Amino acid sequence: MDELRALSGLVVVLCGPSGAGKSTLVARLRERLPLHFSVSYTTRPMRRGEEDGRDYYFVAPEQFDEMVAQGEFLEHATVHTNSYGTHRRQVESMAEGGSVVVLDIDVQGAAQVRATGADILFIFILPPSVAELERRLRSRATDSEKVIAGRLAVARSEMAQAGLFDYVVVNDDLDVAASDLDAILRAERLRRGAPLTVQRLGLT
Ligand code: ADP
Ligand code: 5GP
């Protein structure tokens, strides 16, 4: 994997088991903060309520493989039998101009992004319990019983990697989790901007 070009914005990798509430939290965050969402490419079928180009770019496996061959992905992985990938140039152009860019990707993808050594923030979203995760996957009512069982089986091994992340946010009460994320992003932007602020004020 090539490194991302030097970025002026804050790129955030958001990870956590399917059903933990990542999409819900991103939607909440967008109400509070101007942020860009990296729209991944996937070979999985579109779910009810989803939109091509907004939730994902839904592509055929052949097109996905061609994009892999052309090196278009910052990272890509097979998750729950389908392929998913983050478009490198899309992230680069969104990060230009100092924006916050959120990547909702799985732990394999996060490991690939981490290995680039780029200055990226890694946040893990945990459900309050596995039982609650199961309840949320069922209440979302978008997946078959077989798919839900598969997602739960993978969830435990994914959650075991939470310790590798810069921050872990437990999504129990949605308002609290959204506030925690908001606080983390605000603090990280201030931290990263600190040298520039000091320079601007002529203090160096
Ligand atoms: P993910 O994007 O991580 O797969 P979703 O955002 O789709 O998860 O959330 C899974 C389900 O759980 C959705 O039906 C969502 O409305 C619900 N949900 C998300 N956060 C909470 C929460 N804090 N409390 C209760 N239900 C939640
Ligand atoms: P879903 O099919 O429920 O939308 O997503 C399933 C899993 O794929 C989630 O864990 C999500 O984070 C992950 N995912 C979505 N987009 C990408 C991507 O571009 N790369 C990787 N590695 N995982 C992704």
Report the atom number in ligand 1 closest to the C-alpha of 26. Answer: 6
In angstroms, rounded to a whole number, what is the distance separating the alpha carbons of residues 18 and 23?
A: 10
Q: Is the pLDDT of residue 134 over 60?
A: yes
Token match 């055929």: residue? 60
Q: Is the pLDDT of residue 42 over 50?
A: yes
pLDDT value of position 1 = 40
Q: Is 127 in the pocket of ligand 1 (CB under 6 A)?
A: no
Domains of the chain, each with CATH number or no CATH: 10-200 (3.40.50.300)
Q: Output the CA 120–ligand 2 centroid distance in Å.
A: 18
pLDDT value of position 174 = 97
Q: Output the CA 138–ligand 1 centroid distance in Å.
A: 10
Q: What integer is the mean pLDDT of 123-135? A: 95
Q: Pick the ligand that lies closest to the CA of residue 72.
A: 2
Q: What integer is the mean pLDDT of 158-170? A: 96
Q: Are 116 and 4 contacting, i.e. CB atoms less than 8 angstroms apart?
A: yes
Burial bucket for residue 99 (CB in 10 Å: 0-12, 13-18, 19+): middle
Tens digit of pLDDT for each residue in 89-101? 999 999 887 789 9
Q: How many helices (H) and strands (E) does the chain have?
A: 7, 9
Distances (CA, A) of 184 to 41, 48, 177, 187: 27, 32, 11, 5
Question: Which of 1, 90, 104, 159 best tests ligand 2's pocket when mutated (most atoms within 8 Å of CB)?
Answer: 104
Determine which helix (DSSP H) or strand (DSSP E) holds 14, and give its type and residue range: strand 10-15
In angstroms, rounded to a whole number, what is the distance separating the alpha carbons of residues 116 and 123?
A: 17
Q: Is the pLDDT of residue 7 over 60?
A: no
Query: Taking the C-alpha atoms of 38, 88, 124 and 193 in order, what is their torsion angle to the nearest 10 degrees?
Result: -90
**Sequence-distant (≥ 6) Cβ neighbours of residue 47 within 8 angstroms:** 142, 143
Indicate the pTM of the whole model: 0.91
- 146 — pLDDT class (breaks 50, 70, 90): confident
What is the dihedral sign for C-alpha 31, 36, 38, 44? positive
Q: What integer is the mean pLDDT of 181-201? A: 85
pLDDT value of position 4 = 55
Report the atom number in ligand 2 closest to the C-alpha of 41. Answer: 19
CB-CB neighbours of 33 under 10 Å: 15
Q: Is 136 in the pocket of ligand 1 (CB under 6 A)?
A: yes
Q: Output the CA 20–ligand 1 centroid distance in Å.
A: 6
Q: What integer is the mean pLDDT of 188-192? A: 86
In angstroms, rounded to a whole number, what is the distance separating the alpha carbons of residues 147 and 204?
A: 57
Q: Pick the ligand that lies closest to the CA of residue 107.
A: 2
